[in-house]
């Protein structure tokens, strides 16, 4: 852990005040997936700059330490912290207006964000074949309906998934016979609201807690691990057979197919073959089920292509984006859909997509998100991501030899050490922090998704800290 004065400290709080705030936090404030009775230890974050967070450690809040953020604040802060362009966009927008309602009013930040999203979306510039028929890009005409042209700005990733599911249900309810169910693969994560939860992995998402409350969806097996598996790999063939059979048995009732293409994030950092995504796409297309790609985690370059869909070669009917959309500054997500879906959803009698959050299209956040997309258009993130990937591959490699480690893998700016047992998360995180790295392991994974702007030294430090922490806590 490096004591350092590199980050300007706008308000270094007195130690007693930090202690008081931490005590109140323990007693009164929910954190993600937390227990009110057994709250876990919280580090006190004071400020952040570049790829570092300035912390007051819980066990010694008199000290100030800087830690490299190996999580990019849950995969969002792709440009790092204190980004001049994003700061400027926020300040400038504040001078105009922080918020106005989106019902009956519109404004430049939201319109311009939608314009940029449509221009960057999968298929927008003809780079994707836009056909569900894998390996046959000429199978049908690329027309209007092969691009994503309609944008719904949502307040969070989960809400964008709710809107996508609602659109799929409405599409069928209004254009043909109602269909009730969503088809997905096990191991997914799509958010914490009820619709989104219903398509999360039934075990990982603890569906048993919510029996009778959650809609019951259809779950194909989790595709076998490995991006490079060939379509004729026996495990892939077995997966495909089972998946096709399940789909066929319920086809009439399947309103939509949803997945995180190529990389399942919160469900265990599970990378799988684009071929499996093509199979899902083909099943959806042949059955007029709405194809939804949840790229909330994978979008904007994270997995080494701008969209995970680029690896698949399929333009979905609906795309959900979030997380890195705002460069990690504030919460906003979006649902983009093809004209065909927009027309279906808007059919009578409803005549409208029935969703409209209070803070929809918030101008302040939209301005920041627009500035983040400008940065991505100005500086292609893919070479940076490739550089991070190279650094992670090298620095995580030593863990592959540990007896405690089942697998070490990288995909774009994602590095994973998968253990043979559930990770002792608090111990691993504490040790990594001692080595100057902020990490938050989960399940059986110690993983990193650093900001794309992480320098080779930062990436090497992350890798070294993770390898050391895993080795010391779980054994070499």
**171 near ligand PLP, rule: CB under 6 A:** no
In terms of CB distance, is 385 or 470 closer to ligand PLP?
A: 385
Compute the 3-state secondary structure of the chain and give helix, strand, coil in percent, each to the nearest 5.
Answer: 40, 15, 45
Nearest-CB residue for ligand PLP: 157
166 tagged catalytic = no
Residues 295-334 as x/- pattern, contact with ligand PLP by CB under 6 A? -xx------------------------xx---------x-
Peptide bond into 349 cis (omega under 30): yes
Phi, psi of 442 (to 5 degrees): -150, 160
Is residue 233 part of an annotated ligand binding site? no
383 is in an annotated binding site: no
Q: Does 161 bind ligand PLP (CB under 6 A)?
A: yes
Least spacing, CB of residue 359 vs ligand PLP, in Å: 14
| CB nearer ligand PLP, residue 173 or residue 319 | 319
Of 33, 59, 95, 232, the catalytic one is 33
Q: What is the DSSP letter of 202?
A: T
Place of tokens 């599911």: 165
Q: How many residues touch ligand PLP (CB under 6 A)?
A: 16
Q: Least Å distance between CB 414 and ligand PLP?
A: 12
CA atoms within 13 A on the CB side of 82: 13
Distances (CA, A) of 346 to 340, 341, 343: 10, 8, 5
Say which of 81, 189, 329, 447 is annotated catalytic.
189
Check residue 156 for interaction with ligand PLP (CB under 6 A): yes
Nearest Cα to Cα of residue 221 among 254, 250, 184: 184
The catalytic position among 69, 155, 201, 294 is: 294
CA–CA separation, 152 vs 336, rounded Å? 6
Task: Rank residues 158 and 448 by Cβ distance to ligand PLP and give the closer one.
Answer: 158
Q: What is the closest distance, in whole angstroms, from the C-beta atom of residue 370 to ligand PLP in the complex? A: 19
Q: 447 catalytic, yes or no? A: no
Q: Are the CB atoms for 299 and 324 separated by under 8 Å? A: yes
The answer to whether 189 is a known catalytic residue is yes
Q: Say whether residue 384 binds ligand PLP (CB under 6 A).
A: no
145 given a catalytic annotation:
no
- CA distances to 9, 145, 171, 339 from 343, rounded to whole Å, are 52, 11, 8, 6
C-beta closer to ligand PLP: residue 265 or 415: 265
Do residues 307 and 125 lie in contact, with contact meaning Cβ atoms separated by under 8 Å? no
Query: Can you tell me whether residue 194 is helix, strand or coil?
Result: helix
Q: Is residue 2 within 8 Å of 65, Cβ to Cβ?
A: yes
Q: How far apart are CA 416 and CA 98, in angstroms?
A: 39
Which residues face 69 on adjacent strands?
438
Site pattern 257..276 for ligand PLP (x: CB under 6 A)? ---x----xx----------
Q: What is the distance between the alpha carbons of residues 303 and 414, in angstroms, rounded to a whole number?
A: 7
In the complex, minimum distance from the CB of residue 333 to ligand PLP, in angstroms, rounded to a whole number = 6
Q: Which residues are catalytic?
A: 33, 189, 294, 323
Binding residues for pyridoxal 5'-phosphate: 157-158, 294, 357-358
Give the interface with ligand PLP as residue ranges (CB under 6 A): 156-158, 161, 189-191, 260, 265-266, 294, 296-297, 322-323, 333
């Amino acid at each position: 852990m490096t004591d350092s004065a590199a980050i300007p400290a706008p308000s270094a709080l007195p130690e007693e005040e930090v202690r008081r705030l931490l005590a109140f936090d323990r007693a009164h404030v929910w954190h993600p997936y937390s227990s009110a009775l057994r709250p876990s230890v919280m580090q006190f974050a004071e400020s952040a700059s570049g790829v570092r967070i300035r912390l007051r450690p819980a066990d010694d809040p008199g000290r100030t330490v800087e830690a490299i953020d190996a999580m990019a604040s849950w995969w969002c802060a792709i440009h790092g912290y204190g980004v001049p362009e994003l700061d400027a966009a926020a300040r400038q927008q504040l001078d105009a207006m922080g918020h106005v309602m989106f019902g009956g009013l519109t404004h430049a930040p939201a319109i311009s964000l939608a314009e940029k999203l449509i221009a960057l979306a999968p298929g927008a510039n003809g780079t994707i074949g836009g056909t569900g028929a894998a390996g046959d890009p000429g199978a049908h005409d690329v027309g209007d309906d092969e691009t994503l042209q309609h944008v719904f700005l949502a307040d969070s990733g989960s809400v964008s998934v709710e809107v996508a599911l609602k659109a799929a249900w409405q599409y069928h309810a209004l254009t043909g016979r109602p269909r009730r169910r969503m088809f997905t693969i096990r191991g997914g994560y799509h958010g914490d609201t009820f619709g989104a939860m219903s398509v999360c992995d039934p075990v990982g998402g603890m569906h048993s807690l919510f029996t009778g409350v959650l809609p019951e969806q259809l779950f194909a097996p989790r595709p076998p691990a490995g991006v490079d598996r060939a379509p004729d790999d026996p495990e892939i063939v077995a997966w495909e057979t089972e998946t096709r059979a399940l789909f066929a048995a319920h086809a009439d009732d399947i309103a939509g197919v949803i997945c995180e293409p190529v990389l399942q994030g919160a469900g265990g950092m599970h990378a799988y073959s684009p071929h499996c995504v093509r199979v899902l796409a083909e099943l959806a297309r042949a059955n007029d089920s709405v194809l939804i790609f949840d790229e909330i985690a994978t979008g904007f370059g994270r997995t080494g292509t701008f969209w995970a869909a680029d690896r698949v070669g399929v333009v979905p009917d609906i795309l959900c984006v979030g997380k890195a959309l705002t460069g990690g500054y504030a919460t906003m997500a979006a649902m983009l859909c093809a004209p065909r879906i927009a027309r279906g959803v808007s059919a009578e009698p409803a005549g409208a997509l029935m969703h409209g959050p209070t803070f929809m299209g918030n101008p302040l956040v939209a301005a920041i998100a627009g500035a983040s997309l400008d940065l991505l258009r100005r500086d292609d993130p893919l070479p940076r991501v490739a550089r991070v990937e190279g650094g992670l591959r090298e620095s995580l490699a030593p863990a592959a030899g540990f007896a405690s480690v089942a697998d070490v893998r990288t995909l774009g700016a994602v590095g994973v050490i998968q253990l043979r047992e559930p990770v002792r998360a608090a111990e691993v995180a504490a040790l990594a922090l001692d080595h100057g790295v902020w990490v938050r392991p989960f399940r059986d994974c110690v993983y990193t998704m650093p900001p794309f702007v992480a320098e080779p030294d930062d990436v090497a430090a992350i890798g070294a800290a993770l390898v050391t922490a895993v080795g010391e806590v779980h054994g070499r």
